[in-house]
Amino acid sequence: MGEAAHLDWPFFEPHHRDLKQRLEGWARNHLATHPLDPVDVDSACRQLVRLLGKAGWLRYAVGGREEGGGSSSIDTRAVCLIRETLAYYSGLADFSFALQGLGSGAISLFGTPEQRQRYLPRVATGEAIAAFALSEPDAGSDAAALRCEGRLEGDEYVLNGVKTWISNGGIADFYVVFARTGEGEGARGITAFIVDAGTPGFEIAERLEVMAPHPLATLRFRDCRLPQGQRLGAPGQGFKIAMQTLDVFRTSVAAAALGFARRALDEALHRAVNRRMFGAVLADFQLTQAKLANMATQVEGAALLTYRAAWLKDQGRRVTKEAAMAKMVATESAQQVIDAAIQMWGGLGVTRGQRVEALYREIRPLRIYEGATEIQQLIIARELLREYRERLAEGDCHEPNRS
Ligand code: COS
């Protein structure tokens, strides 16, 4: 991978630098020639999960838990370095790694010892594939509006409803599913469950085709019966479980965007020094230099926000605002960096089979999934206003119009 000077930043420990070096060598050997658009995306993903598990990388996606739940021992900086590196070489490898983390994250954070023992070791070795099922046709950004129902009957929960846009849908061995159980209104009446693939009453209703192909599906539950032991966390706590899981992994979406952007910048540099025109090379023109300068600055800015959020998370801090800032800036700027790289590649840039063309398709969903940019803006503004009001209440605030 091209630029790795950021490893000298004080955000990292020596073991992070060692991890990055080992992973870089592994990725060059195993992923550099991976096809951009595999014909059979399901089997490509299954193979990648096994490969990542066998090499030991998936262990970083699966965390332990501190007493009381909700606090993760996931090394966020390691997860981010891994996603950044995998994304540089293969969008599908990054996807396979990330979904093992997101799909099992709620179990790492809130599972009972039995649940953690039953699922997590297999996720870490790549023997079991995980999925996170929150979104519904009428509840994407407004996650608390979900309608999938989990009714308690005797000592069983009965699930009825639909989930959609579920990554790994169709190939996952288990799904963490959020359903309305009615302990309270809105966000207060949701509970999390673990549903094994093959549970009667659970089916894949439809497979979804998207611009950067990866396994994606709509799930349907019809009187799907679950023993109480498949409930994850306390009844009514499902929304907070979902939000806290997303808090851990949102920063890593920023890291993936960073990996895509770094690759686009390297592709652009390669093009700039090789493409001849008007008796010079592209790099000789100031218009090209301006583009490269903007791209490099956007990459560095995104990296700073990403690793600041990851470092803060690893200090045990709540990073709702910082993770949202990192995700918003890294995904939006990666889209612009990749677009600029395509402009420099010209006609070739929009040709199927070219790396920059694949990057253009790979980056787009990251501005939507795990909280669209507009949701990140909402989260940032809410946190900002909450902090300001707290400072006001404590009298620790200069009120500009009074001085
Ligand atoms: N950590 C812990 N608790 C959280 C939390 C977080 N990050 N975010 C919210 N909560 C808690 C709140 O504190 C509140 O608890 P109380 O009822 O005890 O006060 C509860 O959850 C409800 O929160 P809120 O009122 O903020 O919920 P909203 O319905 O207004 O939704 C947003 C908040 C928009 C931030 C949320 O719906 C969201 O993140 N949406 C995007 C979902 C998403 O990422 N979808 C993609 C699916 S995965 S690909």
- Residue 65 has a pLDDT of 53
Of 332, 354, 330, which is closest to residue 342 (Cα–Cα)? Answer: 354
User: Using a 6 Å cutoff on CB, does residue 369 contact ligand 1?
Assistant: yes
- Ligand 1 atom at minimum distance from 142 CA: 37
Q: Running DSSP on this structure, what letter comes out for residue 135?
A: -
47 CA from centroid of ligand 1 (Å): 34
User: Using a 6 Å cutoff on CB, does residue 215 contact ligand 1?
Assistant: no
Closest Cα to atom 21 of ligand 1: 240
Closest Cα to atom 47 of ligand 1: 370
Q: Which helix (H) or strand (E) holds 152?
A: strand 149-153
Helix, strand or coil, per DSSP, at residue 316:
coil
- Residue 36 has a pLDDT of 86
Q: What is the number of other CB atoms lying within 10 angstroms of the CB of residue 356? A: 23
Pairing of strands 202-207, 149-153: unpaired
Catalytic annotation, pick one of 136, 267, 362, 370: 370
User: Using a 6 Å cutoff on CB, does residue 323 contact ligand 1?
Assistant: no
Of 99, 97, 92, which is closest to residue 38 (Cα–Cα)? Answer: 92
Q: What is the DSSP string of 347-396?
A: GGGGSTT-HHHHHHHHHGGGGTTTS-HHHHHHHHHHHHHHHHHHHHHTT-
Q: Which helix (H) or strand (E) holds 178?
A: strand 174-180
User: Using a 6 Å cutoff on CB, does residue 379 contact ligand 1?
Assistant: yes
Pairing of strands 130-133, 174-180: parallel
Out of 177, 243, 317, give the residue to mutate to test ligand 1, the one with the largest number of ligand atoms within 8 Å of its CB.
243
CA distances from 333 to 291, 305, 330 (A): 13, 12, 5
Q: What is the number of other CB atoms lying within 10 angstroms of the CB of residue 191? A: 24
Q: For the chain, which residues score pLDDT lower than 70?
A: 1-4, 64-72, 402-403
Of 116, 145, 142, which is closest to residue 128 (Cα–Cα)? Answer: 116
Query: Burial code of 318-338, b = ≥16 C-beta within 10 A, e = fewer?
Result: ebbbbbbbbbbbbbbbbbebb
- Are 191 and 150 a contacting pair, CB within 8 Å? yes
- Residue 68 has a pLDDT of 46
- Are 356 and 342 a contacting pair, CB within 8 Å? yes
Q: What is the DSSP string of 317-351?
A: ---HHHHHHHHHHHHHHHHHHHHHHHHHHGGGGGS
**Where do we find the tokens 């707290």?**
390
User: Using a 6 Å cutoff on CB, does residue 237 contact ligand 1?
Assistant: no
User: Using a 6 Å cutoff on CB, does residue 134 contact ligand 1?
Assistant: yes
Of 219, 207, 136, 205, which is closest to residue 174 (Cα–Cα)? Answer: 219
**Token pair for 159:** 């699930």
Annotation marks residue 370 as catalytic: yes
Q: What is the number of other CB atoms lying within 10 angstroms of the CB of residue 50? A: 16
Closest Cα to atom 16 of ligand 1: 188
C-alpha span between 353 and 346 (Å, rounded): 14
C-alpha span between 84 and 61 (Å, rounded): 13
- Ligand 1 atom at minimum distance from 320 CA: 7
Helix, strand, coil in percent for the chain, rounding step 5: 60, 15, 25
Residue 187's identity, in one-letter code, is A
Phi/psi of residue 189, each to 5°? -115, 35
C-alpha span between 206 and 215 (Å, rounded): 11
pTM tops 0.85: yes
Out of 163, 164, 239, give the residue to mutate to test ligand 1, the one with the largest number of ligand atoms within 8 Å of its CB.
239
Radius of gyration of the chain (CA): 22
- Ligand 1 atom at minimum distance from 240 CA: 3
User: Using a 6 Å cutoff on CB, does residue 366 contact ligand 1?
Assistant: no
